Amino acid sequence: MTALPPRGRSAAAILDDLDRLSRDDVDWRSGRAFSLAYHAGPDVEALAELAHARFAGSNMLNVAAFPSLRAMQADVLAMVGDLLHAGPAAAGSITSGGTESLLLAVKAARGLARAERGVERPRMVLPTTAHAAFEKAAADYGVESVRVPVGPDFRAVPAAIEAAIDDDTVLVACSAPSYPQGVVDPVAEIAAVAASRGLPCHVDACMGGLVLPMLERAGEPVTPFDFRVPGVTSMSVDLHKYGYAPKGVSVLLHRDKRRRSFQAFSTDNWLGGFYGSLGVLGTRGGGPLAAAWAVMNRLGAEGYLGLASEARAATLELAGALRERRGVRLLAPPDATLLAFGFDDADAFAVGAALARRGFWVDQQSPPPSLHCTVNAVHRGVICDFLAALDEAHEEVRRSGSRAEAKAYGRAE
């Protein structure tokens, strides 16, 4: 156990310790991490750090005291809403990340169903590819998670979702794209199913909410996924992913204010007066919001188009190379910038461990046992290096027959 130092230490010594502590961290700025971190270049990172530092001590608990945060929040919500064609009636909130956005989407659907239909044993229907945060929402808010199988292409099956709906269903969810295999669900068909039963439909676009609009602008075919689709009632988009903002800032958008109202919490049952919050958290520093606002204004539509094009090109380069490799299976053609692959002749998790020893971090997932790459703009110049390391790791594991347990996607330590 480490106790507080008896006296304060010098800033130089502390910074030296931070450098030492981070010595073994993955080098994400050089594209060695195909997960967890996103890099749009040193100039964008420097601006984000300055903006974050300038507002780190401000508090989003009550933006009446910080009109700067209120203004930046309105700007960010408006910019994301415009990209997703949310319309003038839309209402949103800034959250700490995709997990909180999904928690609140489920909470809002539960509240709406209680108010309108008196549902006391709520259920939500979602494909097996929907993010793990939905399970956290199920546990936290007492909503049964009903998972339905996906098709052989790893896309949600609208008919299976429809068959799983009953009178206690409060929400239908889908992804654009799903995290595990990187494909966009048939949002229009799923939203139509939800609408026909009077149910909200949430589209988890935490990974694709900024990339897909840019790919569409670049002329690529994009499966309809946003508020232009009738029946889509809420969407989540992470700005600390392909928005290239620092952790943690995400957007949750609803089609209208009434739907958003059910994500809120309020009480006066204490001696401190009225307390209200749209989010899970109370106090939140303004740094992440300010950094996101700064980065979005710095990059603009042209900058995001360039970054999305770079990330997409790197994804297609990687996918094409994986298809050509003997013993390697691409699980699905990538619809955006995520992909997963497995092996016919080697243990996927052992290959992942061998890659880590070579300085590359990839996610490990199952079923089926596979490796996962979240490709962003920084990877445009490192695909060849990654493939060389992958070939070495694959051959090492194939020859040795070694096996390994999967590394966890998230940890509770």
* Structure tokens given for 192: 């139509």
Tens of pLDDT, residue by residue over 315-366, are 999 999 999 999 999 999 999 999 999 999 999 999 999 999 999 999 999 9
**Residue pair 134/112 in contact by the 8 Å Cβ criterion:** no
**Half-sphere exposure at residue 110, Cβ-oriented, CA atoms within 13 angstroms:** 23
Cβ distance 330 to 323 under 8 Å? yes
The chain-wide mean pLDDT, for the chain, equals 95
User: In the numeric block, which tokens belong to residue 122?
Assistant: 């709520």
pLDDT at 172: 98
Cα gap 223→213, rounded to integer Å? 10
> How is 202-221 classified by DSSP, letter by letter?
EEE-TTTTTHHHHHHHTT--
Q: What angle do CA 289, 95, 246 make, to 5 degrees?
A: 45
Amino acid at residue number 271: L
**pLDDT for position 82:** 97
What length does the chain have?
413
The tokens describing 353, both together, are: 């461990």
User: Which of the residue ranges 161-175, 229-243, 263-277 would you say has the lowest mean pLDDT?
Assistant: 263-277
CB of 285 closer than 8 Å to CB of 279: no
Domains and CATH numbers, the chain: 48-295 (3.40.640.10), 301-396 (3.90.1150.10)
* Statement: residue 292 has pLDDT above 90: yes
**Local structure of residue 407 (DSSP, 8 states):** P
Residue % of the chain over a pLDDT of 90:
95
Per-residue pLDDT band at 43 (split at 50, 70, 90): very high
Residue 323, H or E segment? helix 287-324
Beta-carbon count within 10 A of 147 CB: 15
Q: Which of 224, 116, 231 is nearest to 172 (CA)?
A: 231
Pick the closest to residue 393 from 344, 339, 357 (CA basis).
357
Which residue bears the tokens 């910074």? 15
Q: Give 302-324 pLDDT, tens digit per residue.
A: 999 999 999 999 999 999 999 99
Question: Is the pLDDT at 148 greater than 60, yes or no?
Answer: yes
Task: Phi first, then psi: give them for residue 231, nearest 5 degrees.
Answer: 100, -20
pLDDT at 412 over 70: no
User: Given the structure tokens 């499966």, which residue do they identify?
Assistant: 223
Q: What is the pLDDT of residue 408?
A: 66
Q: What is the pLDDT of residue 363?
A: 95
pLDDT tens digit sequence for 220-238:
999 999 999 999 999 999 9
Distances in whole angstroms, Cα of residue 18 to Cα of each of 59, 161, 232, 347, 367: 26, 49, 45, 36, 37
Q: Distance between CA atoms of 232 and 15, rounded to whole angstroms?
A: 48
Neighbour-count burial of 411, counting CB atoms closer than 10 A to its CB (0-12 exposed, 13-18 middle, 19+ buried): exposed
